[in-house]
Amino acid sequence: ATEAEEKDLVIIGGGVAGYVAAIKAGQEGMKVTCIEKRGTLGGTCLNVGCIPSKSLLNNSHLYHQVLHDTKHRGIEVGDVKLNLEQLMKAKDLSVSGLTKGVEFLLKKNGVEYIKGTGTFKDEHTISVQLNDGGETSVVGKNILIATGSEATPFPGLEIDEKRVVTSTGAIALKEVPKKMLVIGGGIIGLEMASVWQRLGSDVTVVEYLDLIGGPGMDAEIAKASQKILKKQGISFKTNTKVLSGDTTGDQIKLEVEAAKGGKAETLEADVVLVAIGRRPYTGGLGLENVGVDVDERGRVVIDSEYRTKVPHIRCVGDVTFGPMLAHKAEEEAVAVVEYIKKGYGHVNYGCIPSVMYTFPEVAWVGQSEQELKKAGIKYRVGTFPFSANSRAKTNLDTDGMVKMLADPETDRLLGVHIIGPNAGEMIAEGTLALEYGASSEDIARTCHAHPTLAEAFKEAAMATHGKAIHF
Ligand code: FAD
Ligand code: NAD
């Protein structure tokens, strides 16, 4: 290729990591190409992850609330019916609106978007199998790997995305399964279990560990969440491992047994969701052609400036280290472009919030009690229940609490853990406080509007620093 044809940055993958890097680099005046094979931009998150799942969670919650939670509020409703086809159309509309919006943003920032599969030909050249047939190649001064992740399969259970599904099939079922089994009680398992249980399915979640919620969730909050979800009708089998599956009959059969040696039993269902985690995706990328390393879990190995062994080939998002979250991918995407353009960038990995969008939501940032204990760090705990918060009481949604952890000597905030209505929005305040190195007293002395759920956040800080007023 001639000098003129060489791009400043070629990005493989148009998910959150890839498209955000593309926009940022465009804004920085760089010549950018983004290669995406899916046919639409936005990756897992916009197409089959965050966005469609939240649409289903929102609307299934509304349906469930109208069915079961109106009478005592003084609202009498008539015949309530589920129109699953329309529910799915509403979801598809959110997805297509957002993915088209991203395409517009790439155009606006002068990014070349190629629909196809990118493969390393050499250290600067990516050959692209075009979706419409044919092949082309792009040359980049810098290359960014942003190829994301895929669902981890369960050995012996073949995914058909109809009866044995990953989250991708679970957000597109054509009818409500009578019985659904979920393997894995992490975030995907619990969000999807919530959707289908609300829509009428009899759902059982099988979790290997003694706690649901996946990695990072504070144990006290995880227990509270399980109790509430159980009350809503989801069944749990914790401390249970799935041995094998049989899909030959009308009903899918799963052989399970207690994690620490116990008697086996057979569970049956119409649909089985495999939600045991996700793994980095580098299929067809041709990493071997350039000698870029992956670790034992398939993650692309990088240094603190996102450089692989080949310094002008960098990598961000789900395909490398760290939590598999869209906002983490987004932070890294901005930082990596800053490293390329200016030589410095910044992501605070100690300050990345997590949210589980069940009802009530669970959200946290910073360290959990078990993490602090394990690290031998001393801490003070302050909690405040939503049952003592005026807004939660007026809304008749009082399940949950705010829990804060702070350093007993300096009072510096170490972690915030919330289970409750709107926890996912409220955690932004905790994240900001943690990022700014706030003490619990700083928060306790900050005026919060009344009546708001956020007052529970302030009162938990008061309880950490001294005493809450309303509890
Ligand atoms: P991806 O989004 O996976 O994007 C990578 C893209 O690269 C894909 O579109 C793929 O087609 C493309 N690609 C791969 N190889 C090639 C190639 N060789 N050539 C061209 N293109 C290629 N996170 C949250 O923060 N909040 C949530 O609420 C949330 N909900 C989720 C719900 C579900 C059901 C799932 C599955 C995930 C959810 N996540 C959520 C996680 C989130 O989707 C990911 O963290 C995020 O998508 C990671 O972005 P990424 O760009 O690194 O990877
Ligand atoms: P996860 O790692 O969160 O949870 C997987 C769960 O499955 C764990 O609790 C684990 O103990 C259990 N498990 C593993 N093997 C098992 C087995 N053989 N039998 C029974 N249980 C088993 O993974 P996930 O829920 O699949 O989610 C994948 C990724 O997607 C996560 O990184 C998550 O952060 C991300 N995601 C985020 C959101 C969100 O932010 N709201 C939503 C969905 C997905």
* CB 358 near ligand 1, within 6 Å: no
What's the pLDDT tens digit per position in 413-448?
Answer: 999 999 999 999 999 999 999 999 999 999 999 999
The pLDDT tens digits for 109-138 are 999 999 999 999 999 999 999 999 999 999
Nearest to 117 by CA among 99, 101, 130: 130
Query: Which ligand is closest to the CA of 214, given by its number?
Result: 2
The reported pTM is 0.97
How far is residue 272's CA from residue 281's CA, in Å, rounded to a whole number?
Answer: 23
- Ligand-binding annotation for 243, yes or no, is no
The residue assigned the tokens 């030909």 is: 121
Whether residue 427 has its Cβ less than 6 Å from ligand 2 = no
Rounded mean pLDDT, 315-343: 98
- Mutate which of 159, 278, 297, 358 for ligand 2 pocket (most atoms within 8 A of beta carbon): 278
The finding on whether 336 has its CB within 6 A of some atom of ligand 1 is no
- Looking at all shown ligands, the one closest to residue 354's CA atom is 2
Nearest CA among 471, 267, 263, 223 for reference residue 368: 223
Q: Any known ligand binding at 69?
A: no
325 lines ligand 2 (CB under 6 A): yes
Q: What is the pLDDT of residue 1?
A: 46
Instruction: Mark whether 312 is an active-site residue.
Output: no
Position 246 pLDDT exceeds 50:
yes
Which residue has the CA at smallest separation from atom 33 of ligand 1? Answer: 49
Q: What is the pLDDT of residue 261?
A: 79
For the cut 80, the answer to whether the pLDDT of residue 2 exceeds it is no
207 CA distance to ligand 2 middle (Å): 10
pLDDT band per the 50, 70, 90 thresholds, residue 161: very high
Using CA atoms, how far residue 308 sits from 17, 134, 304, 336, 445, in Å, is 16, 30, 10, 12, 46
Q: What is the mean pLDDT of residues 202-223?
A: 96
**What's the chain's average pLDDT?**
97
Please report the pLDDT score of residue 123 as a whole number. 97
Query: Quick one: how far is CA 48 from the chain centroid?
Result: 11
- ipTM for the predicted complex comes to 0.98
145 annotated binding-site participant = no
Q: Give per-residue pLDDT as tens, 440-451.
A: 999 999 999 999
CA distance 250 to 149: 32
| Among 159, 190, 276, residue to substitute to test ligand 2 (most atoms within 8 Å of Cβ) | 276
